[in-house]
Each structure stands twice: as structure tokens, then as C-alpha cells.
């Protein structure tokens, strides 16, 4: 029985693998464009909106800090602020893989809607904290709930597109989120002016109102978040068959493969997955450094007022969106991954160097544009690089969780090396962020060499097919 007879809900049972057949060769180009655009429209915007509130809720602590929270909760004492930023990442790292496994069972919409609504409630609760340790507890809960979100998004997006399409989709999803969350700093500056309303401080209103937005977004997720291709409800049976056929042609993993213990341990022993994790940890070290500390550097290091700092925190994100999407488009067009990863790391190093060591405030601020753009661009680039070189549903799920665990490690590093005693310049932390970019460059070079010789051996018949899937080759 064909898919057109059974419907897209029965796609796994009705789908027959057609190896070495390109489904786009005989397809109507208008049908192809219409199908991919429909997937883009139904899948990406809602995930981007949700990730923007995720980023906003985790980094709004820096806006609240300069809006009065530091004094009221005495966060400037010792390492209290660093602890409050760091604790988020402990449960964030530990719960990512279980989250991906649970999501597949309960459905993407129910899972993402539930965790988003709950962390929105926790964010509102942060606005009513009275002591620094209550804030730390809320941050830990926030990390536990947000742990499942980015791995889920990465996992879902990767299952819908062929490899040559993933980079600009992943970048578009991520950069739109970064840009929206960048505007949240300007919005936070306006909200902070509500100080005294209802007897609450401006920093409290930042958490309360932003958390309310998250709760609303979480409720919308129950309706608008889309599931995996084999479970989708928005494509016709013919479109669903086409999507699965082209995925199978690209990487031979259109059908879901179930978890087993031997598979799990084989994934753990795959050195390339740890390389991706190291790269993403390095990228997020810099990204979180700017997210957590740029507003503070603008106030304490460059002498801007609190409102000016919150307004000036947004333009680097807007520049990053244009810069990164342009490079992602080139990356997909020419199937280049490693060269652009290295280029963006170099741009980040230049930006960090200007911010850390130049004596002119305008130049230091310009450095933040380059630093934010390069580090923000490398995050989806690394995720796309990982998804391009991994095949199979369960391995893709494991790789997404493990690699994004590196994001948590990067957050811990950024939280620890940017110490209060190093204010206002935070130069030791900026040196660490620069070093992290060299780690990305070296790891990318190592993986490129490995992929080149692996592909060559398979093509010459000296090695079996990669991952046991004929026709699959690494992209670099």
C-alpha cells in the first residue's frame, strides 16, 4: 500500500526505501519548492520564537544585574553572580539526552510546550526572589527545564532537510533568535524604568514581564510546534513521501532506528562526536561571555549608563544576523563547512582583541560587533557541521544532546573566568575566550583531515561504507 493510500500518519509503515534513486530528478520543480517552503513555514518560525525567549530568559540576569538586582541581592559579593550564572548549566548538561529520548515518545509539541511554559513560570518567580541563594535555586530549575530545548530543536530540524540545506536553516533559526533576544536588552532597559510600580524594582519587572511572554509562547507551542517527518500532520501524503525519499537518498536514515545498549556505547566511543562537543563548548564560551558580561562591561568598563548599555547591547546582534546568514548561504551553496568555521573564529578573535585591549571606547564597542557575529555564527555552523556528518535517528539524537552539552560547558567556563574581581576590563576572561577560538580552528582542521582520508578510503574500496550506509560521505 502506498503512502497516498494510507496517509502521512502512517508514513513509517507505508514508506519503502528506494536506494540510489533521487526523488528530485523526476519531480515537478514547483512541487519541490512548494513542499520545502511549506516545511520552512511550519517548522522554523515557531522554533525561532521559542528559542529567542529561551535565550532571553537565561541571559536576562545580566540586564537585571545592572538594573538594581546586584545591590538588592548583594550579588557583587565574592563569586555570587558567577555562581548564579554557572548553576544554570549543571542540570542543563545532565538532562539533555534524556530529554531527546522522552520527546520522541511524547511528541515534540507536548514536550516543548510543557517545558517552555514551566520555565516561564520559573522566570516569573525569579522576579520575587529576596536573597541571592533563592536566585541560584531558580537558575538551577531554569537550567533543568531549558536543557531539553536546543537539542530538541537541532534534532527536529536535522530530520527534515538534506545536508546541503541544513546550514542556512540552522543559522536562520539561531540568528533570528539571537537578534530577537538582542532586542530584549533594549526592552529590558525600558522595563527597568518601571522601578517602583507595584512596590517592585525595575529588575523584578524584567523577570516578571519576560517570564509572562515565555508562558504565552509555551502555550502557543502546544499548537504550532511540528513533529518529526514520519509523524507530521501538515503535509499531504505525497509531500511526506517526497520529504522522506530525499532524506533517504541523502543519508539513508529516513526510517527511525530504535535505541540499543550496543548502539549507545558505540556512539560514546565515536571520537568525532567529542570533537563537535569541544568545538561547541569553545563557541559558547565566547557567546556567553558577551551575553552575560557585555552589558556590565559597557557600564563599568566603557562608562555608559545602565539604559545606554541595554540599548547598545542590541546592535551587535542585528549585525550578527546579517553577517552570519550571508556566510551560511555561501556555506550551503558551495557545500563548505570547515573554511567558514575557521573564518568566523578569526573574526571573533579580532573582535575580542579589540574589546579587550584597545584604548578607545568606540573601537572597543566595534570589537563587540565582530565578536558577537563570529561567535554567534559558529554556533549554528558547528551544529550544522555535526548534523552533516552523523546519520541515523538515534545517533543524531545522541550527537545533538552530547554536542549541545558542550554549550553548557562553555557557559560554565564563561561564568567562572569572568570574575567580579577582574572588572571592569575582564581581561583574563577575554583571553580565555580568545583561546577557545583557537581550539575551534585546530579541531576543525583535525576533523577535516580525518574526513578527507576516510572518504578517500571508502571511494577507493579500502574501507567499508561509512556508518554502513552506501553512498554516505563526510562533508567538510
- Backbone region of residue 263 per phi and psi (left: phi > 0; alpha: psi in -120 to 50; beta: other values): alpha
- What secondary structure letter does DSSP report for 465? P
Count the neighbouring beta carbons within 10 Å of the beta carbon of residue 255: 15
Superfamily of 28-251+260-453 according to CATH: MFS general substrate transporter like domains (1.20.1250.20)
Q: What is the pTM of this model?
A: 0.74
- Say yes or no to pLDDT of 340 above 80: yes
Q: Are 299 and 361 in contact (CB under 8 A)?
A: no
Concatenate the DSSP letters of all residues of 107-169 into one string. -HHHHHHHHHHHHHHHHHHHTT--SHHHHHHHHHHHHHHHTTHHHHHHHHHHHHS-HHHHHHH
Average pLDDT estimate for 417-435: 79
Q: Which has more pLDDT, 320 or 469?
A: 320
How confident is the model at residue 72, as a pLDDT?
A: 93
Q: How far apart are CA 142 and CA 119, in angstroms?
A: 6
Q: Give which of 318, 329, 437, 433 is closest to 373, Cα–Cα.
A: 318
Q: Are 56 and 184 in contact (CB under 8 A)?
A: yes
How does pLDDT run across 64-122, given as a tens digit for each residue?
Answer: 988 899 999 998 888 888 889 889 988 988 888 788 778 878 888 899 999 999 999 99
How does pLDDT run across 9-47, given as a tens digit for each residue?
Answer: 433 333 334 444 556 656 788 898 999 999 999 999 999
- Grid coordinates of 329: 548561504
Count the neighbouring beta carbons within 10 Å of the beta carbon of residue 405: 22
Q: What does the domain layout of the chain look like in residue ranges?
A: 28-251+260-453
Q: How far apart are CA 378 and CA 451, in angstroms?
A: 19
Q: Are 317 and 372 in contact (CB under 8 A)?
A: yes
The answer to whether the Cα torsion of 255, 257, 263, 268 is positive or negative is positive
Instruction: Map grid coordinates 567556563 to a residue.
Output: 413
Q: How far apart are CA 199 and CA 381, in angstroms?
A: 45
- Say yes or no to pLDDT of 301 above 80: no
How confident is the model at residue 333, as a pLDDT?
A: 83
Amino acid at each position: 500500500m502506498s503512502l497516498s493510500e494510507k496517509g502521512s500518519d502512517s508514513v513509517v509503515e507505508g514508506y519503502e526505501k528506494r536506494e540510489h534513486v533521487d526523488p528530485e530528478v523526476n519531480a515537478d520543480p514547483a512541487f519541490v519548492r512548494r513542499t520545502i517552503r511549506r516545511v520552512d513555514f511550519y517548522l522554523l518560525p515557531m522554533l525561532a520564537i521559542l528559542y529567542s525567549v529561551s535565550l532571553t530568559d537565561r541571559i536576562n540576569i545580566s540586564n537585571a544585574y545592572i538594573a538594581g538586582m546586584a545591590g538588592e541581592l548583594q550579588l557583587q559579593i565574592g563569586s555570587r553572580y558567577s555562581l548564579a550564572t554557572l548553576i544554570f548549566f549543571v542540570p542543563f548538561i545532565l538532562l539533555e539526552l534524556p530529554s531527546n529520548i522522552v520527546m520522541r515518545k511524547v511528541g515534540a509539541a507536548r514536550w516543548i510546550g510543557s517545558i517552555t511554559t514551566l520555565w516561564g513560570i520559573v522566570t516569573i518567580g525569579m522576579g520575587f526572589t529576596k536573597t541571592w541563594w533563592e536566585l541560584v535555586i531558580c537558575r538551577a530549575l531554569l537550567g533543568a527545564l531549558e536543557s531539553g530545548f536546543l537539542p530538541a530543536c537541532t534534532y527536529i530540524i536535522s530530520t527534515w532537510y538534506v545536508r546541503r540545506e541544513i546550514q542556512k536553516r540552522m543559522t536562520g533559526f539561531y540568528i533570528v533568535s539571537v537578534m530577537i533576544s538582542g532586542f530584549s536588552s533594549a526592552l529590558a532597559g525600558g522595563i527597568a524604568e518601571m522601578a517602583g510600580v507595584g512596590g517592585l524594582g525595575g529588575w523584578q519587572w524584567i523577570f516578571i514581564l519576560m517570564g509572562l511572554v515565555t508562558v504565552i509562547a509555551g502555550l502557543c507551542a502546544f499548537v504550532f510546534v511540528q513533529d518529526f517527518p514520519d509523524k507530521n500532520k501538515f503535509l499531504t501524503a505525497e509531500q511526506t513521501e517526497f520529504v522522506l525519499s530525499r532524506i533517504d537518498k541523502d543519508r539513508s536514515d529516513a526510517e527511525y532506528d530504535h535505541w540499543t545498549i550496543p548502539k549507545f556505547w558505540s556512539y560514546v566511543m565515536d571520537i568525532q562526536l567529542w570533537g563537535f562537543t569541544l568545538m561547541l563548548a569553545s563557541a559558547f564560551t565566547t557567546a556567553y561571555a558577551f551575553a552575560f558580561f557585555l552589558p556590565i562591561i559597557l557600564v563599568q568598563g566603557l562608562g555608559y549608563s545602565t539604559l545606554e548599555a541595554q540599548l547598545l547591547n542590541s546592535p551587535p546582534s542585528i549585525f550578527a544576523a546579517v553577517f552570519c546568514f550571508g556566510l551560511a548561504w555561501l556555506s550551503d551553496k558551495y557545500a563548505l563547512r570547515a573554511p567558514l568555521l575557521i573564518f568566523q573564529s578569526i573574526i571573533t578573535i579580532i573582535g575580542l582583541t579589540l574589546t579587550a585591549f584597545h584604548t578607545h571606547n568606540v573601537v572597543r564597542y566595534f570589537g563587540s560587533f565582530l565578536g558577537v557575529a563570529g561567535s554567534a555564527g559558529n554556533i549554528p555552523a558547528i551544529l550544522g557541521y555535526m548534523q552533516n556528518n552523523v546519520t541515523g535517528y538515534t545517533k543524531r539524537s545522541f550527537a545533538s544532546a552530547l554536542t549541545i552539552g558542550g554549550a553548557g560547558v562553555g557557559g560554565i567556563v564563561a561564568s567562572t573566568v569572568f570574575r567580579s574581581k577582574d572588572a571592569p576590563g575582564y581581561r583574563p576572561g577575554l583571553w580565555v575566550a580568545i583561546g577557545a577560538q583557537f581550539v575551534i580552528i585546530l579541531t576543525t582542521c583535525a576533523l577535516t583531515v580525518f574526513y578527507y582520508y576516510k572518504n578517500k578510503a571508502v571511494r577507493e574500496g579500502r574501507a567499508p561504507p561509512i556508518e554502513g550506509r552506501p553512498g554516505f560521505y563526510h562533508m567538510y
